[in-house]
A and B are shown apart, each in its own frame.
Chain A
Amino acid sequence: MDLSEMDSFNRNGGRQERPPSLPPAIIELSIILAIACALLFFVIPAQTSAADEYGLSPAFMPSVCVVAIAAVAVLQFLTGSSGKGDDDEVPPAIKYAVALALAVIVGVVVVTFAGIVVGGAVTSLLVLLALRQRRIRLLVLLPVCVAAVLAAVQATGM
């Protein structure tokens, strides 16, 4: 839904109030700065050890990167140069990608316990189901073909 459509006139000709919402640019900047602060003050100090008397600290490069990211994000926000149509475009629903990713994650878990051949076949089956396929022939043939190919690869000793 276009943000501009939320400002509309009601039947009596008055202006309807737009529900309060932060501009996407501020949300983006807030998320980046929050992650940068968490990395700079908590993660990097905890995950790097103190340097000896010579040389640069192990935390030098990661810290430089985090500070640079935060600085670029702030500059981008201040100059208003975040690219085309950010406030107008609404990303599509995420549910499709989530379903596909979950299918693969479950498939990788199966690989962990049952091996690459069975896991690969199950992964292909789960992805087909996530793609809303219900044709029995496809649901059987593709996993069987995948299993056959993976078994052949395994047989080569790779």
Chain B
Amino acid sequence: MENLLLGAIDAFAPTAVFAVFCGILLGYVVGVLPGLSRPAALAIAVPITYYLTPISAIAFLIGVTKASAAGGATGAIMLNTPGEPSSAATCFDGYPLAKAGKATKALKIALYSSVFGDIISTLVLIGLAKPLAAFALKMGPLEMTSVMVFALTFIAALSGGSLGRGLISGILGIFLATIGLDPESATPRLTFGRIELFDGVPLVAATVGMLAFTEMLVQGEKYLRGRAAGEVPEGMKRDRSDLSWSEIRSLCPTAVRSTLVGIAAGVIPGLGPTIGAFLSYAAAERLKKPGDTFGEGEIKGVAATEAADNAVLPASLIPLFAIGLPGSVSAAILVSAFMIHGVIPGPLVFDQYPRLMYGIYVSMIIASICMLLVGRIGLHFFAQVGRVPAVIIIPSVMVLCIVGVYLESHQLFSVYAMVALGVLGYVMQRYGYSVVTFLIGFVVGPLFELSLRQSLIVTDRNPMVLMDHPIAVGFLAMSLVAVYVFVRRDSSGKVPMSERKPG
């Protein structure tokens, strides 16, 4: 109780509340802008938080993540162009509502559903993370290694069109994480004589480069190709339609069901908000009643996707806080923020930093309330932000990438590394290799290597010892089942639902 009160005091400090508010504002802008994704914005924002206190830094980043999920619906509804990939499903019914002159109603539904899903998921996180962490402390190196193998397999399969390419991306990320000093002998490994690499490839350079910089290369290429083809961007529509209390009541069952889907998608590593949103939409459509017009402007469609989308992030922090395993790329970037401030996420974090953890929980609730207030007040303004042209966004973000990485390390080597990794990320995306899986492999790599080395010591390299660890055997078996299922999917040529293009 004492730690809860102290954490709450930290969270309600003016600097922390201001950090949350700024994060929410930035998150909404990022969510609305089609050219800048949530992970990219987080990656850029992390080095900026270097000069903040840990609670303010984490609160700021959580605000960015939450609000970008809510803001992504704006472009989806107004322009049929989702600001975030996870908002793509919102286009199915949001844009038809806007075309029918009900844009304001759709925007309000998206906002209220987002806040509802976010708050419920945050409460689940607060209730479940610590008990799960206590359970996780009973897991040894074999169990941790098998959990990470399972998580990486799932992430690899669901992050792109091919399990094989996803696995290659994830393993490549782990390979890149081996650059630096060997954990046992402390001798340089793959550093090519560069002292700057003794601590490994800079984490911020990797995340900023492969998310933000890569995305700007892709957006710039898209802009230039569109310009060469003579394409004209679509305009926006506005209206003054309102949302009635009876409509809000009719949305409650959909919002609750979708929030539960989003929580499940967040807890299971690799599913992420995009999968969660699409699964929720599919479930809502399957349970539709006579008179529901899914695909033609059904308000339940908007509520389903947005509630699930926003429920994913808090839930994805459960495996992060409980066992140190990021359940999504946003959570992986939050790991870098924790580490910058000297906090290692994992089951021991509740014992070592209880005040900070309770402070983060309270900040998350504050962020949810701020999200509602800022979103409601700025509803129409954020819709206008989406009209910022790509020729302003792209050079600005590229300069931000350079400045952000430089601010974090004050080394130009990190900036060159950021550019090189950005180009690598572009090449990977171009040929169907998942950058998300790569980054999660990169972040998890050191922990995976440590667990694997400990496992080899514990088992004395005798695989039969594995039989004494049923949890590890269970996770490895699930990994094999997942490989079989996903290889069959890839061989049959089916397109994952998350890759279905909006309207």
Contacts and interface: CB of A to CB of B under 8 A. Distances in A.
Contacts of B407: 153, 158
B187 A79 contact: no
B220 A100 contact: yes
B491 A92 contact: no
A72 B167 contact: yes
Contact of A75 (B161, B164, B402, B412): B164
A3 interface: no
Closest 9 CB pairs of A and B: A76-B164, A83-B162, A81-B490, A83-B161, A58-B182, A65-B175, A127-B395, A124-B395, A96-B221
Given A73-B168, A84-B495, A97 B162 contact: no
Interface residues on A, range: 35 or more
Contacts of B171: 65, 68-69, 72
A144 interface: no
A48 B402 contact: no
Nearest to B448: A61
A116 B403 contact: yes
Nearest to B453: A56
Given A82-B490, A142-B392, A107 B175 contact: no
Contact of B395 (A66, A82, A128): A128
A58 B183 CA distance: 8
Most buried by B among A66, A75, A94, A158: A158
A113 to B, nearest CB: 10
Interface string B376-417: 000000000000001110111011001100110000100110
B228 to A, nearest CB: 9
Interface in B218-263: 218, 220-221, 223-225, 227
B160 interface: yes
Contacts of A97: 217-218, 220-221, 426
Nearest to A67: B171
B340 interface: no
Given A97-B217, A146-B399, A79 B190 contact: no
Given A58-B189, A96-B220, A111 B412 contact: yes
Contact of B394 (A80, A91, A125, A131): A131
B29 interface: no
B274 to A, nearest CB: 17
B162 A76 contact: yes
B187 A58 contact: yes
B190 A47 contact: yes
Interface of B: 51, 160-165, 167-168, 171-172, 174-175, 178, 182, 184-185, 187-192, 213, 216-218, 220-221, 223-225, 227, 390-392, 394-396, 398-399, 402-403, 406-407, 412, 415-416, 419, 422-423, 426, 430-432, 449, 452-453, 456, 487, 490-491, 493-495, 499
Nearest to B50: A158
B225 A92 contact: yes
Contact of A127 (B160, B163, B398, B431): B398
Label chain B's interface by main secondary structure.
helix
A4 interface: no
A100 to B, nearest CB: 5
A120 B402 contact: yes
Given A47-B192, A124-B395, A131-B394, A101 B217 contact: yes
A81 B487 contact: yes
Contacts of A76: 162-165, 168
A32 B191 CA distance: 22
B484 to A, nearest CB: 11
Contact of A55 (B168, B184, B192): B184
Interface string A74-106: 011001111111100001111011001100110
Contacts of B422: 101
Contacts of A32: 168
A48 B189 contact: yes
B399 A123 contact: yes
A111 B35 CA distance: 25
Contact of B403 (A55, A59, A105, A150): A150
Interface string A129-144: 0111100001000100
B392 to A, nearest CB: 7
Nearest to A49: B187
17 contacts: A28-B431, A47-B191, A69-B172, A72-B164, A72-B168, A72-B171, A76-B162, A76-B163, A76-B164, A80-B491, A82-B432, A97-B218, A100-B220, A101-B426, A107-B398, A124-B399, A150-B399
